[in-house]
Amino acid sequence: MDILEDILQKEAKKSEKYKTTDVEKNVELELDLGNLLALDTNDLNLQELKSHKEKYLLNLARDNTQLLLNKLWDLPSERREDIVVAKLPAGTLRLPREKPCPKPKPLTKWQEYALEKGIKKKKKTNAVWDDIVQKWIPRFGYKKAELERQKDWVLEVPGNADPMEDQFAKKAEKKKEKVSKNEFQRLRNIAKAKKIKVPKEGLPSVANPSSDLLNTAAKVARVSTASLGKFQPKLPKEKTLKENVIAPKRVKRDHSKISSIDEKSSHLKIIDSILGKKPKLDIEKAVNRQVFQEQHE
């Protein structure tokens, strides 16, 4: 009796508008609820596939989705802002790599040395306490630079240094040199990593150099002498430009004051030399005077 009733119920359900939530499969689906993935490894019905392809595939998809959703309803659910939400477990599917594995970078000169000596990187704090200003100042950056500029409003001239030397300029020059040295070493590390051979001195050789490159190379070669290219004989078609010689730094002269002693005296000296050039005996004048006298006689 019960069996009959069950069968009748099933028939009734089948005739309903919506399809049943029970789906029977020969092989169970592999479900990855974390990725909302259902893998169906059942064989396809070739007859139906040939005859009603779209309809068959649609039904298949619908059945598989039904099975997935059945399992989703079984998950523990939460309620967030009037919406019932299922909490998905972690996904089990492992996607293959898109790009090849990265190769380990060759160590830089410093890293090799640190490894050899066993030097470990010390973790440094972001801010440093500065006693003079009584504030926490970042270890580097524009705020620190500003503070340093304020603290160094005056620089002492050391005992053995030339009193006329510009200490601020010297400091700035040192910093520039440090930065450029660092840059040079960084580029050298990169060249070593890429296995590009760079000559120790001079410009690296290029297969097809452009005219600009050749001019630069000629310039560098010219200036690479002890006298910085000053006495280097000129090549037949070389243009002598001001950039070819590293000229000594010109001291900026203060033009604001008419230095009464120096300028005036030098000017007067020049004037004296000019006026002194005229011969004591002005022949022309003598001749004119003679002619004049003769006329008046």
Partner 1 sequence: MKILSDERTKSVFEKLAKFIGGNIKLLIDRPDGKYCFREHKDRVYYMSQAILDLALSCNKEQLICAGTCFGKFTKTNKFRLHITALNYLAPYAQYKIWLKPSAEQQFLYGHHVLKSGMGRITENTPKNQGVVIFSMNDMPLGFGTSAKATADCKHADPIAIVCFNQGDIGEYIRNEDTLI
Of the pair 191, 271, the CB lying nearest partner 1 is at 271
Contact 153, 133 (CB under 8 A): no
**Rounded distance between C-alpha atoms, residue 217 and residue 206, angstroms:** 11
Contact 42, 25 (CB under 8 A): yes
User: Does residue 291 belong to the site contacting partner 1 (CB under 8 A)?
Assistant: yes
Question: Nearest 5 degrees, angle CA 234-CA 239-CA 240?
Answer: 65
Of the pair 237, 257, the CB lying nearest partner 1 is at 257
Of the pair 100, 248, the CB lying nearest partner 1 is at 248
Of the pair 24, 262, the CB lying nearest partner 1 is at 262
Residue 294: CB minimum distance to partner 1, A: 9
Of the pair 207, 283, the CB lying nearest partner 1 is at 283
User: Does residue 211 belong to the site contacting partner 1 (CB under 8 A)?
Assistant: no
Chosen residue from 274, 279, 280, 297 binding partner 1 by CB under 8 A: 274
User: Does residue 282 belong to the site contacting partner 1 (CB under 8 A)?
Assistant: yes
Main-chain dihedrals φ then ψ at residue 169, nearest 5 degrees: -65, -40
Of the pair 53, 269, the CB lying nearest partner 1 is at 269
The two tokens of residue 189 are 């590390």
Main-chain dihedrals φ then ψ at residue 69, nearest 5 degrees: -65, -35
**Helix spans in the chain (H):** 2-15, 46-51, 53-73, 109-117, 142-151, 167-193, 211-223, 260-276, 283-296
Contact 39, 29 (CB under 8 A): yes
Q: Which stretch binds partner 1 (CB under 8 A): 15-23, 106-114, 214-222, 274-282?
A: 274-282
Contacting partner 1 within 74-133 (CB under 8 A): none
User: Does residue 191 belong to the site contacting partner 1 (CB under 8 A)?
Assistant: no
User: Does residue 297 belong to the site contacting partner 1 (CB under 8 A)?
Assistant: no
Chosen residue from 42, 111, 182, 288 binding partner 1 by CB under 8 A: 288
Question: Nearest 5 degrees, angle CA 25-CA 28-CA 33?
Answer: 120
DSSP 78-136: EEETTEEEE--------PPPSSPPPPPPPPPHHHHHHHHHT--PPP--SEEEETTTTEE
Number of other CB atoms surrounding residue 38 within 10 Å? 19
Contacting partner 1 within 232-271 (CB under 8 A): 253, 255-258, 260, 263-264, 266-268, 270-271
Tell me the site size for partner 1, rule CB under 8 A: 24
Number of other CB atoms surrounding residue 67 within 10 Å? 20
Residue 297: CB minimum distance to partner 1, A: 13
Residue 277: CB minimum distance to partner 1, A: 9
Chosen residue from 95, 241, 275, 281 binding partner 1 by CB under 8 A: 275
Residue 269: CB minimum distance to partner 1, A: 10
Q: Which residues bind partner 1 (CB under 8 A)?
A: 253, 255-258, 260, 263-264, 266-268, 270-271, 273-275, 282, 284-285, 288-289, 291-292, 295
